[in-house]
Amino acid sequence: MEKIASGVYRITAGEPEKFTPVKILKPVPSENLDRLPDNPCPFGDGDIKKKCAEGSCTLEIPLGDDEDIYGFGLQLKSFRQSGRKKVIRVNSDPAADLGDSHGPVPFYLSTAGYGVFVDTSRFATFYCGGSKRKGSRQERENYPSVPNEEGHHFEHKAHSGNMFVRIPSAKGADVYVFAGSTMKDALARYNLFSGGGAFPPLWGLGILYRCWWHTDEEHVLSMAKQFRDEKIPCDVLGLEPGWQTNAYSCTFEWDSEKYPDPERMCREAAKSGYKINLWEHCYTHPTSPVFKMLYPLSGDSYVWDGIIPDFTLSEARDVFAGRHDEIVEQGIMGFKLDECDGGDYLCTGNWGFPEFTKFPGGLDGEQMRSELGLLYQKTMLRPFEKRNIRVWGQSRASHALAAPYPYVLYSDLYDHSDFIRGLATSALGGVMWSPEVRQTGSREELIRRLQAVIFSPLAVINAYMIPSPPWKQYDHDRNLAGDFLPDAQELTNMCRSIFELRMSLVPYLYEAFYVYYSQGIPPVRPLIADYADDMNVRDIWDEFMVGDSLLFAPVIWGRGDRRNVYLPEGKWKNFFDGTEYDGGKSYVFSPGLTEILLFARDESLVPFADPVLCSGADTVYDVSLRLYGKHGACRLIVDDGTSLRYRTEKPDVLLIETDGKDVAGFEPNERYRFKDIIAF
Ligand code: GAL
């Protein structure tokens, strides 16, 4: 066992492979990792048993009786993983709870306060305590695997065995153990080891609206105007496949009939504060100007008639990033990196490249399937880093060590429960997820989905299938759900106020993301992260801590308007009216359609800005301090909000305190103006 940083240990089993997440992505751990207090490794030398031979490697990692297991990155179908079997395979359509997802990660967390990362790009299988083995402690101590009929339920099987990890086609692997004082601390160490969490530009925290596929320059600009005229907050307009001469696969060339002057369009949009983001995938069409150069630098399979660049090769990165550099020069401020996942089941079709694909850099198709998302993300950062610009984009695939990458995952699936579960699981594996909102079957559904997406790392409205915003789609439609029939104007007003809530929280979220960057703690996380010792929260995947002071409980579309909310220890106050609740208890709420279940921790202070339509480098926020209790403190981060300077020069951090009368620490600055105190 080798100690590699404070509380981080590496245990090598057999002969690790040449290509693994650590070796491919070369993470640069945050310097803050070594500032954390040290902790001993929870496993002694020899505790992790290894059976490595030609063809596969199996690890056995101890699992205590009262430990529960979480993690494996984005998991849409389950939350607590104790007793389950999970295959870590990047896939666009997890048809069942098998482990596949857009961003699965070979990393798990235990409620005993440690995390384990198996450094492999293989489709590794994790057996999370459900397999009792001959000769094991569990056999000697007579652990029941299936105590009775009911015992078939996975929870009863959870503690009948250790954790087993089977890695196909590998003769070994490095195992990294993150020893925390708590589960949250172990997660933070994993994120800091990956390089620290991604830090968005201020505009990244606003609303991203993806326009209709068939839009053109004129329509984009008319959309931009419409939002401003109707005072709908929006920072980014996204163009979908139609902007290119060929989209499936991509040419990375503008369709000049629809977009005669992209530079002018970006300039015009920027005048009213918009950034433009472009959809693409990396499969490169034969008519693309970079096809010939990429041909020898790509894998030996096609996807949709496009070649797959091998981003492990610096020449391939140069060519690809070079083409995108020209696009960025035209004024584009971000990309949506689609379809870098692949699909094996029938939900979204069966497509992608086979596992036996060979890439010139040496990876095979299985390894590339795991790494393509992050390699693509990394390549696409170059044009922005070169210009000292911070970006915030979207990607449909991710994997291990993703924390520092400023891309948020999304999906073609749309079940709202799965989408909310994704928000919980992603946070426990260093990936970010947006439960994006598209067209909906009813006005109620639209409202409930919007109320949830504004509490995610990226508030995306993906209207690529419809020409006008989802809140306008009901102008001529019957409301399928029946009763609730606000007219178009009323519905627009309702949506606007949801967006405004997000905009009011931008300063608060910005600070929470700075904590993600510097301390590795994700800004939006399920209760288990903060309250791992509270047995009541172990299965709660639909309540979130947002920053340190807020608790958000979304009303999930399709599960009725009544919902149970468990408030952990302490006192909590309704964010909007201050109604007080004792923690350690559950409550049933029936929130009206415009009501959001948001609670503030007692004795907390939440900076709340007058909503702006978008955030620019010179935006000044007028901040009310919402005080819950007698005394509270919060932090505000003051920096340019757009450049990469925060990496080399620490931003100003204002520590603000108030007792409801006097305010200390709100020093005059160029970003925030003190408005008032609102006490609850
Ligand atoms: C899908 C993607 C959607 C949309 C669509 C356009 O792969 O998930 O959000 O961009 O492509 O073809």
Which of 412, 458, 465 gets mutated to test ligand 1 (max ligand atoms within 8 A of its CB)? Answer: 412
Please tell me the predicted confidence (pLDDT) of residue 138: 81
Collapsed DSSP state (helix, strand, coil) of residue 8: strand
Averaged pLDDT for residues 507-526? 98
Averaged pLDDT for residues 162-187? 96
Atom 10 of ligand 1, nearest CA residue: 240
> Residue 541 corresponds to which amino acid?
W
* Distinct helix (H) and strand (E) counts, the chain: 14, 34
CA distance 199 to 652: 15
Please tell me the predicted confidence (pLDDT) of residue 94: 80
Higher pLDDT: 473 or 107? It is: 107
Residue 63: closest CA among 154, 165, 134:
165
Q: What distance in angstroms lies between residue 412's CA and the mean position of ligand 1's atoms? A: 7
CA distance 314 to 310: 9
Domains assigned to the chain: 2-194 (2.60.40.1760), 202-391 (3.20.20.80), 549-680 (2.60.40.4040)
Task: Give yes or no for residue 407 CB within 6 A of ligand 1.
Answer: no
Ligand 1 atom nearest to 336, measured from its CA: 10
Collapsed DSSP state (helix, strand, coil) of residue 150: helix
Averaged pLDDT for residues 487-492? 86
494-513 per-position pLDDT tens digit: 999 999 999 999 999 999 99
Atom 12 of ligand 1, nearest CA residue: 241
Averaged pLDDT for residues 628-655? 98
Would you say residue 82 has pLDDT above 50? yes
Averaged pLDDT for residues 462-479? 80
Task: Give yes or no for residue 242 CB within 6 A of ligand 1.
Answer: no
Q: What distance in angstroms lies between residue 414's CA and the mean position of ligand 1's atoms? A: 12
Q: What distance in angstroms lies between residue 371's CA and the mean position of ligand 1's atoms? A: 20
Answer for the pair 95, 345: CB distance below 8 angstroms, yes or no: yes
Q: What distance in angstroms lies between residue 59's CA and the mean position of ligand 1's atoms? A: 38
CA distance 129 to 394: 34
pLDDT confidence band for 54 (50 / 70 / 90): confident
pLDDT confidence band for 141 (50 / 70 / 90): confident
Task: Give yes or no for residue 341 CB within 6 A of ligand 1.
Answer: no
Ligand 1 atom nearest to 338, measured from its CA: 7
CA distance 155 to 134: 21
Q: Which DSSP string do the residues of 299-338 spell out, in sequence order?
A: EEEEETTEEEE-TTSHHHHHHHHHHHHHHHHTT---EEE-
460 bridge partner residues: 208
Answer for the pair 110, 67: CB distance below 8 angstroms, yes or no: yes
Task: Give yes or no for residue 602 CB within 6 A of ligand 1.
Answer: no
Q: What distance in angstroms lies between residue 615's CA and the mean position of ligand 1's atoms? A: 27
pLDDT confidence band for 145 (50 / 70 / 90): low
Task: Give yes or no for residue 338 CB within 6 A of ligand 1.
Answer: yes
The percent of residues in the chain predicted with pLDDT above 90, rounded, is 88
Q: What distance in angstroms lies between residue 198's CA and the mean position of ligand 1's atoms? A: 24
Average pLDDT, the chain: 94
Averaged pLDDT for residues 365-376? 98
Please tell me the predicted confidence (pLDDT) of residue 158: 58
3-state class percentages of the chain: helix first, strand second, coil last, to nearest 5: 25, 25, 50
Would you say residue 441 has pLDDT above 90? no
Task: Name every residue whose Cβ is closer than 8 Å to that of residue 644 and which is 6 or more positions away in sequence.
Answer: 385, 388, 389, 390
Of the candidate ranges 109-123, 148-162, 517-531, the one whose mean pLDDT is the lowest: 148-162
Please tell me the predicted confidence (pLDDT) of residue 150: 52
Which of 341, 460, 464, 465 gets mutated to test ligand 1 (max ligand atoms within 8 A of its CB)? Answer: 464
Q: What distance in angstroms lies between residue 413's CA and the mean position of ligand 1's atoms? A: 11
- Polymer length in residues for the chain: 680
Task: Give yes or no for residue 185 CB within 6 A of ligand 1.
Answer: no
The percent of residues in the chain predicted with pLDDT above 70, rounded, is 95
pTM equals 0.97
Please tell me the predicted confidence (pLDDT) of residue 95: 78
Centre a 10 Å sphere on the Cβ of residue 44 and count the other Cβ atoms it contains: 10
Would you say residue 475 has pLDDT above 70? no
Averaged pLDDT for residues 261-271? 98
CA distance 586 to 616: 41
Task: Give yes or no for residue 283 CB within 6 A of ligand 1.
Answer: no
Ligand 1 atom nearest to 396, measured from its CA: 8
Separation in Å, CA 579 to CA 165, 452, 545: 48, 22, 19
Q: What distance in angstroms lies between residue 295's CA and the mean position of ligand 1's atoms? A: 25
> Residue 94 corresponds to which amino acid?
P
Q: Which DSSP string do the residues of 604-661 spell out, in sequence order?
A: EEEEEEPP-SS--TT--EEEEEEEESS-EEEEEEES-SSBSGGGTSPPEEEEEEESSS
pLDDT confidence band for 348 (50 / 70 / 90): low
Task: Give yes or no for residue 335 CB within 6 A of ligand 1.
Answer: no
Whole-number CA gyration radius for the chain: 25
- In degrees rounded to 5, what are phi and psi of residue 494? -65, -45
- In degrees rounded to 5, what are phi and psi of residue 537? -95, 0
Please tell me the predicted confidence (pLDDT) of residue 476: 47
- In degrees rounded to 5, what are phi and psi of residue 586? -105, 150
Task: Give yes or no for residue 174 CB within 6 A of ligand 1.
Answer: no
Ligand 1 atom nearest to 279, measured from its CA: 10
Ligand 1 atom nearest to 436, measured from its CA: 9
Answer for the pair 549, 600: CB distance below 8 angstroms, yes or no: yes
DSSP classification of residue 244: B
Q: What distance in angstroms lies between residue 93's CA and the mean position of ligand 1's atoms? A: 13
Of the candidate ranges 122-131, 227-236, 578-587, the one whose mean pLDDT is the lowest: 122-131
Please tell me the predicted confidence (pLDDT) of residue 346: 64
Q: What distance in angstroms lies between residue 350's CA and the mean position of ligand 1's atoms? A: 15
584-617 per-position pLDDT tens digit: 999 999 999 999 999 999 999 999 999 999 999 9
CA distance 542 to 425: 10
Task: Give yes or no for residue 92 CB within 6 A of ligand 1.
Answer: no
Centre a 10 Å sphere on the Cβ of residue 32 and count the other Cβ atoms it contains: 16
Please tell me the predicted confidence (pLDDT) of residue 344: 86
Q: What distance in angstroms lies between residue 562's CA and the mean position of ligand 1's atoms? A: 33
Tokens representing residue 195 in the block: 């390089």
Averaged pLDDT for residues 296-321? 98
Please tell me the predicted confidence (pLDDT) of residue 151: 47
Task: Give yes or no for residue 412 CB within 6 A of ligand 1.
Answer: yes
Atom 8 of ligand 1, nearest CA residue: 412
Residue 337: closest CA among 399, 232, 410:
410
Q: What distance in angstroms lies between residue 61's CA and the mean position of ligand 1's atoms? A: 39
Q: What distance in angstroms lies between residue 396's CA and the mean position of ligand 1's atoms? A: 9
Q: What distance in angstroms lies between residue 508's CA and the mean position of ligand 1's atoms? A: 31
Question: Which phi-psi region, left, alpha or beta, contains residue 305 (left: φ > 0; alpha: ψ -120 to 50)?
Answer: left
CA distance 408 to 418: 16
CA distance 422 to 554: 13
Averaged pLDDT for residues 612-639? 97
